[in-house]
Structure 1
Amino acid sequence: MSESAQPKAVSYARILVAVDDEEYLPVCRRAELLATQFDADVMLIHVMEPFSPVVAPGVMGGASIIPDTEAENYDEALKLARRRLVDIAAAMTIEKVETKVVEDGDIARAVHSEAEAHGSDLIVVGSHGRHGLALLFSGSTAVDLLKQSPCDVLAVTL
């Protein structure tokens, strides 16, 4: 193997972990192991689609037609997501953990943006390993994250 083909030593100082509503535990455990190994900081993020009230264009002033209860439900979901991330961080055995809920409709864009802002050199995300038609019909956040990622991406098999 030539010198230029020699693999570089890997070290991660800032790890961003994308936490979803499903199977986050294996993803967090892997990030925790890596953070311990590299003495890295961890940022746990959860991406939520932002609340956008429907506006009726024919109504005077474009009044919102979404009842206040839906806005209250969204606010409650946001608080719950923040609380959940704090609980996950508290259960980790590492000390340097931050949490953030990001409101964005595009998960990959939000994760990339946060990775850049956080100065992350690794993104850890869960993947069900779907392929073929299953991937076509369900999509894959892990695949989207690999595209144009500002840093390495580790897809933990769920």
Structure 2
Amino acid sequence: MAVYSKILLAVDLSEESDQLIEKTRTIAQNNHAELTVLHVIEPLSFAYGGDVPMDLTTVQDQLDEHARIKLSAFAEKLNYPVESQQVITGHTESEIHRMAEDKECDLIIVGSHGRHGLALLLGSTANSVLHGAPCDVLAVRVYEPET
């Protein structure tokens, strides 16, 4: 009996995202699970407080297309069948929750930087996903590449 039948892997497509590949593949294989890979793009208007005196549609479209290309390349590295690849624009935590509900996922996998101090007080994506998630959440510790 599989513990997890539908897994949602939420990635930010940074270099650290590759650190999620092996654990995600192993969990998915061991459970013969359907795997959805998600990347959420925060709208540019969020970054600029919503009051931008110009149309950012073209820039947002370019960001979306770039993310789709990167997500496709990431999904290939998983070396596991991906049921669905999704690039969505919106608030990261709520879009992850929504996708997990829509796909009836029983596990969400996210990367966590394990920040401390002020970054911890301000909250992290992994922490926000955990609170309010409709299912189990696995926060995989990722490390920034050494320079």
* TM-score (norm: length of structure 2): 0.83
Alignment match of 2:38 (pick from 31, 42, 45):
45
RMSD: 2.3
Q: Is contact 2:6-2:103 (8 Å) kept?
A: yes
Alignment match of 1:21 (pick from 13, 16, 22):
13
Alignment match of 2:104 (pick from 119, 140, 148):
119
Quote the Cα distance in structure 2 between the aligned partners of 1:131 and 1:10: 35
Q: Name the counterpart of 1:60.
A: none
Query: Measured at CA, do residues 29 and 117 of structure 1 come closer, stay the same or move farther in structure 2, by a change above 3 Å?
Result: same
Quote the Cα distance in structure 2 between the aligned partners of 1:140 and 1:154: 14
Gaps (5+ residues) in structure 2?
143-147
Quote the Cα distance in structure 2 between the aligned partners of 1:134 and 1:54: 20
Query: Measured at CA, do residues 10 and 133 of structure 1 come closer, stay the same or move farther in structure 2, by a change above 3 Å?
Result: farther
Q: Name the counterpart of 2:59.
A: 73
Q: Name the counterpart of 1:4.
A: none
Q: Name the counterpart of 2:79.
A: 93
Quote the Cα distance in structure 2 between the aligned partners of 1:65 and 1:144: 31
Quote the Cα distance in structure 2 between the aligned partners of 1:99 and 1:89: 8
What amino acid sits opposite 1:92 in the alignment? L
Quote the Cα distance in structure 2 between the aligned partners of 1:55 and 1:73: 15
What amino acid sits opposite 2:140 in the alignment? V
Q: Name the counterpart of 2:132.
A: 148
Query: Measured at CA, do residues 39 and 132 of structure 1 come closer, stay the same or move farther in structure 2, by a change above 3 Å?
Result: same
* TM-score (norm: length of structure 1): 0.78
Larger Rg: 1
Query: Measured at CA, do residues 72 and 121 of structure 1 come closer, stay the same or move farther in structure 2, by a change above 3 Å?
Result: same
Quote the Cα distance in structure 1 between the aligned partners of 2:113 and 2:20: 11
How far the C-alpha of 1:134 sits from its partner, in A, is 3.2
Structure 1 runs (4+) deviating above 4 angstroms are 51-56
Query: Measured at CA, do residues 133 and 97 of structure 1 come closer, stay the same or move farther in structure 2, by a change above 3 Å?
Result: same
Q: Percent of aligned positions with the same letter in both sequences?
A: 36
How far the C-alpha of 1:97 sits from its partner, in A, is 3.5
> 1:106-155 deviations in whole A, cap 9, x for unaligned?
21111000000011000000001113333124x21111111121000000
Count of residue correspondences: 139
